[in-house]
Amino acid sequence: MAGLAVLISGGLDSAILLGDALRRGEHVAPLFIRFGLLWEQVELLYLNKYLKAHSGPRLDPLTILDQPVADIYRDHWSLTGRNVPAADTPDEAVFLPGRNVLLLAKALLWCHMHHVPAVALGALSTNPFPDATPEFFRGLEQTINGAVGGAVRIVLPFAMLTKREVMRLGQDLPLQFTFSCIQPIAGLHCGRCNKCAERRHAFADAGMIDPTRYASSGLSPA
């Protein structure tokens, strides 16, 4: 039985979190919460490649949990592809309302039902969103556990780290199989959106070669 569930997307932070947990000897159950967002199909293709690169007895098969948001997000850019935040927008532009509420409610309940004692996510010290504060995580953990008489813990291994520190922690991991784009083009990072800009900056700031193929020549690998 896994000792740790990891909430994983295709992105750098959660991928490094999973790789580091395996490196430290954890038995990991990867969880992907599918919202129905426009990039998720491509994201899952990359994620499966990343998990295959880590295959072994301490990594459980990927569990996909569905949490559709179309009924509440409606015409949000994450569903329609219109007015997707561009490379020059601030971090706050990519906020997905209630994302961590939805992610963690489902993940905590899954852990409770499958007797997994903890769920980890890759929240960083610099995360600017209201659903990424220590108070939020403590409160949600208490609420969900109280609802089912459970004791599943939310763990935040990167909560005191910067993006640069996390990237360097993952510099030996197969990061070419990670995916950060919110408007993919033909299965590639678009090279023009907020998340592509963040990704490129993360590699550059950590002094690492960016292995990413971008559809836009303006953001080709460094």
Domain 4-173 fold = Rossmann fold (3.40.50)
pLDDT in tens, 64-109: 999 999 999 999 999 999 999 999 999 889 999 999 999 999 999 9
- Nearest CA to 180 out of 154, 217, 219, 206 is that of 219
Query: Has residue 197 got a pLDDT over 90?
Result: yes
Rounded distance between C-alpha atoms, residue 72 and residue 201, angstroms: 32
pLDDT score, position 220: 40
Digit-coded pLDDT (tens) for 123-158? 998 777 888 899 999 999 999 999 999 999 999 999
Q: What pTM value is reported for the model?
A: 0.94
The tokens 């004692």 sit on which residue?
117
Q: What is the DSSP string of 115-142?
A: T--EEE----TT--SGGGSHHHHHHHHH
pLDDT at 222 over 90: no
pLDDT band at 121 (very low <50, low <70, confident <90, very high): very high
Domain ranges of the chain: 4-173
SS3 91: helix
Q: Quick one: pLDDT band at residue 166, thresholds 50, 70, 90?
A: very high
User: Given pLDDT bands bounded at 50, 70 and 90, which one contains residue 217?
Assistant: low
Task: Report angle CA 64, 69, 72 to the nearest 5 degrees.
Answer: 165
Measure the CA–CA gap between 118 and 41, rounded to whole angstroms.
27
Instruction: Give 89's contacts (C-beta < 8 A, 6+ positions apart).
Output: 194
In sequence order, the β-bridge partners of residue 34 are 66
Q: How far apart are CA 84 and CA 82, in angstroms?
A: 6
Whole-number pLDDT of residue 91: 87
